[in-house]
Structure 1
Amino acid sequence: MKDVSAGGAVVNTVLGPVPARELGVVAVHEALLSVVPGAEYAYDVTIDRAEIFEILAAKLREFRECGGGTIVDATGMFHGRDVRLYETLSRATGVHIVASTGMGPEEMLGGYFLTPQTNPPTPWPADKFAGLFGEEVTEGMVVPRVERRGAAGLVATTATRAGMTATDESLFRGAARAANVSGVPVSVRFGADAVRDLAVLLDERLPADRVVVGGLDRKDAVAAAAPLEIARRGAYVAVDNIGTEGDEFVTDDERATLIRDLVDAGFADRILLSANVIGVAKGGPGRDLPYSHVLTAFVPLLTAQGLSVRDVRRILTDNPRELLSVR
């Protein structure tokens, strides 16, 4: 889809299509409101939308003050996505918000998305997932039992950490088919093998440059040289847990070195950054970093590695703009 009147590509935001050139600096894999499915019914969980609004609005304003322009909420359909709240937040703060359709991994799906008449249960066919996700782009995201609102800007899904299951594969193929029809990109979190999981999407004839593979700052991915191989295949490499260090992830210094190596290998146009912040978490652990963390704490590490202002601008602005543009 092209917005002829705007003279260029557009991106689906919760307030409608906007010219891609207006996105500014983009945080490509964040969460605004994350609610563990079922937590809304728990006796010890309070969900006060007015309070949530105030918390998120303050965080988004701080992001904007630090130079941010767009937040991509990559949580998909069933982790607390609140389209009306996101619309109000975007209007109040001036930050563009791109919301996502999709779901996964298998362990986070309800029984509705299996076929219980079979023994053992089998997943929905990929075409059913494709239809569900595609309609959230072409007809608007569902507000349960009420209406549809703005169009989803991407399809997000995740593979099981121990390895892609049959249900995960159906989700991946459905996501790819929905993206091929609707023109939005696919954002995935890989399971045990990033290259193998990407191959499932490419097998659906989804162009590699319509895919971003997240979690590539995990230690196992870096040790297997997965970021370089993903970039070689033409997909986007998301270093998107910036600020998180420990047993599973590399340090921020190591992330900066990884990005330097990718730039030196000629893949500056395939790098995306984010911190996987959770603005408000209900029923599960949060990630209480500012949305500006990449800008304020990580970009200085990149410049210390010798990246130019042009390199940083390409990674933070140009690459996400190309990815998110509806085609």
Structure 2
Amino acid sequence: MTATSNTANTVLGPVPAAELGLVAVGERLLSVLPGAQYAYDIELDRSVIFRAIADKLTAFKAAGGGTVVDAGGMFAGRDVPLLEALSRATGVHIVASAGQMEEGMLGGYFLTPQTNPPTPWPAEKFDVLYGNEVTEGMVVPRVERRGSAGLVSTAVTAAGMTPTDESQLRGSARAALRTGVPLTFRAGTDPVAELAVALSEGLDAARVAVSDAGDAAAAIAEQGAYVVFAGLDQLAAAVSFAGAGNAERTLVATGGAALAFGYDEGEMPETTYDVLITSLPEELREQILVTNPAALLSVSAVKGA
């Protein structure tokens, strides 16, 4: 089910990377804090959700947008049939992700000690779980698979990488290497060391995008990885970074969600995507919103395949 080189995996199937157009990377379309769907005061009306997100995608397309990357991972509101319907209705390509966020966002199943004495969920299990979402299709949920994930997305705990974070990062890197899709992750306290963990699994730096890199942005770019400036308040920093000779390693994202449920105020801001286009200087749009995302999202040749 995966795409071949020079194509990207969208929820409706492989698309030539050159046809992705202007890309909003690292976004959330529907973001639901795990467990919030069971809260008595939260109503997830699919028709209301569809209309609200479709309106934002339509505005994005009207502004010239072509693709939105939903990088929320498997269990934080990802709804593959909904994403398929949104893509068909709006004409916007949607690339969805395998993977999960940092340890604090994992369900108990993934935190269960695997050995005596206890150890984190093994990297090889994360590898199989996430890789299968690329090669066999994304789980909807548990009963079927449909559509190939276009990337593996994860995160490191903001206070510092835990053993579980490291295991998941290694497994995510292995899955990305094995399937040819890129790896994106939100950094913790030491982005350079965390990138080194991913690269130690054999992944090429050009197949990795790191957000929340902070002062380590230049060091990340020097190694050949992409730096994602996530948040509308980061756009000026992205422009400055790109202008300092790093345009080929710069990506931008809103850092929010089209629609979010269950989060504390300000924790997952609701956003639109057309602002990425209108806020970037015209001379940088092609490189940052078209060329760089196309290169990252293209499914690379798998060694030994």
Name the TM tier (shorter chain).
over 0.9
Would you say how many aligned residue pairs link Structure 1 and Structure 2?
296
Matches within 5 A, 1:206-221: 206-216=203-213, 221=214
Match of 1:83 among 80, 87, 105: 80
**Contact 1:45/1:282 (<8 A) preserved:** yes
Task: Tell me if 1:259 matches 2:242.
Answer: yes
Cα shift at 1:116? 3.5
The 1:177–1:64 alpha-carbon spacing in structure 2 relative to 1, beyond 3 Å, is same
Matches within 5 A, 1:42-81: 42-81=39-78
Match of 1:271 among 250, 266, 271: 250
**Contact 1:114/1:121 (<8 A) preserved:** no
Matches within 5 A, 1:272-291: 272-284=251-263, 285=265, 286-291=268-273
**Contact 1:277/1:291 (<8 A) preserved:** no
Match of 1:322 among 281, 288, 295: 295
Counterpart of 1:173 in 2: which secondary structure? helix
The equivalent of 2:14 in structure 1 is 17
Match of 2:187 among 187, 190, 193: 190
Task: Tell me if 1:201 matches 2:198.
Answer: yes
Matches within 5 A, 1:3-152: 3=4, 9-116=6-113, 118=115, 121-152=118-149
The 1:54–1:120 alpha-carbon spacing in structure 2 relative to 1, beyond 3 Å, is farther
Q: Which blocks of at least 5 consecutive residues in structure 1 are unaligned?
A: 245-250, 304-308
The equivalent of 1:313 in structure 2 is 286
User: Which letter does structure 2 place at the counterpart of 1:130?
Assistant: D
- What percentage of residue pairs aligned between the two structures are identical? 55
What TM-score, normalized by structure 2, do the two folds share?
Answer: 0.93
**RMSD of aligned alpha carbons:** 1.6
Which has the larger displacement, 16-25 or 114-123? Answer: 114-123
Cα shift at 1:144? 1.2
Q: Which blocks of at least 5 consecutive residues in structure 2 are unaligned?
A: 301-305
Counterpart of 1:103 in 2: which secondary structure? coil
Cα shift at 1:287? 1.7
The 1:20–1:253 alpha-carbon spacing in structure 2 relative to 1, beyond 3 Å, is closer
**Contact 1:74/1:100 (<8 A) preserved:** yes
**Contact 1:209/1:236 (<8 A) preserved:** yes
Cα shift at 1:110? 1.3
Cα shift at 1:146? 2.0
What TM-score, normalized by structure 1, do the two folds share?
Answer: 0.87
Provide the C-alpha distance between the structure 2 equivalents of 1:212 and 1:254, rounded to a whole number of angstroms: 17
